Amino acid sequence: MTDPRHAPPFEMTGALVRRDGREVLGGIDLRVDAGDVLAVLGPNGSGKSTLVKALLGLVPLAAGRTEIYGEPPARFRGWQRIGYVPQRLPAGGGVPATVREVVASGRVARRSRWLPALLGDRAAERDAVDRALKAVDLADRARDSAHLLSGGEQRRVLIARALAGEPDVFVMDEPTAGVDTRNQAALASALHELTRGGRTVVLVAHELGPMEPLLTRTIELGQGRVVRETRAGDAHETPATGRPA
Amino acid sequence: MSEMLQYPFMRVGLVMAVLIGLAAPAVGTFLVQRRLSLLGDGIGHIALTGIGLGLLTSTSPVLGALVVSVLGAAAIEILRARSRSGADVALALLFYGGLAGGVILTSAGGGSGTALHAYLFGSITSVTVTDLYLVAGLAAAVLAIVAVFGREMFLLCQDEELARASGLPVRFLSVLIAATAAVTVVISMRAIGLLLVSALMIVPVAAAQQLARGFRGTMLVAMAAGVLSAVSGLAGSFQYDLPPGPSIVLLALALFAVAVAGGSAMRRRRARAVPAGATAPAAAGQGADTRVDAEAEVLGG
Cβ neighbours of residue A172 under 8 Å, at least 6 residues apart?
A85, A159, A162, A201, A202, A203, A204
Q: Which amino acid is at A120?
A: G
Selected residue of B166, B174, B211, B267 to mutate for chain A interface (largest A Cβ count, 10 A): B166
Count CA atoms within 13 Å of residue A115 on its CB side. Answer: 9
Query: Is the CB of B213 less than 8 angstroms away from the CB of A89?
Result: no
CA distance A241 to chain B (A): 31
Residue A180 has pLDDT above 70, yes or no: yes
Choose the CATH number for A10-88+97-233 among 3.30.70.60, 3.40.30.10, 3.40.50.300, 1.10.287.90: 3.40.50.300
Lowest-pLDDT range of A101-105, B18-22, B55-59, B87-91: B87-91
**Three-state secondary-structure class, residue B52:** helix
Q: CB B200: neighbour CB atoms within 10 A?
A: 32
What's residue B297's pLDDT? 39
Q: Which residue of B has its CA nearest to A77?
A: B167
Query: Is the CB of A92 less than 8 angstroms away from the CB of B158?
Result: yes
CATH code for the domain in which residue B98 is found: 1.10.3470.10
Instruction: Give the strands of the sheet with A225-231, arranged side by side.
Output: A82-85, A169-173, A200-204, A37-41, A217-222, A225-231, A238-239
Mean pLDDT of A67-86: 93
Range of the domain at B293: 2-300
Q: What is the dihedral of CA A56, A58, A63, A68, to 10 degrees?
A: 20
Nearest to A147 among B212, B294, B301 (CB): B294
As separate numbers, helices (DSSP H) first and strands (DSSP E) second, chain A gives 5, 10
Distance CA A233, CA B162 (A): 34
Mean pLDDT of A11-39: 91
CA distance B85 to chain A (A): 13
Chain B residue numbers with beta carbons less than 8 Å from the beta carbon of A165 are 166
The fraction of chain B above a pLDDT of 70, given in percent, is: 88
- What is the pairing mode between strands A225-231 and A82-85? unpaired
A91 part of contact set with chain B, CB < 8 Å: yes
Q: CB B265: neighbour CB atoms within 10 A?
A: 10
pLDDT in tens, B163-209: 999 999 999 999 999 999 999 999 998 888 888 989 999 999 999 99
Number of structural domains in chain B: 1
Please calculate the CA angle A39-A44-A50 and round it to the nearest 5 degrees.
65
Assign residue B208 a region: left if phi > 0, alpha if psi is -120 to 50, beta otherwise? alpha
- Write out the H or E segment, with its range, that includes residue A203: strand A200-204
A185 part of contact set with chain B, CB < 8 Å: no
Residue B301 has pLDDT above 70, yes or no: no
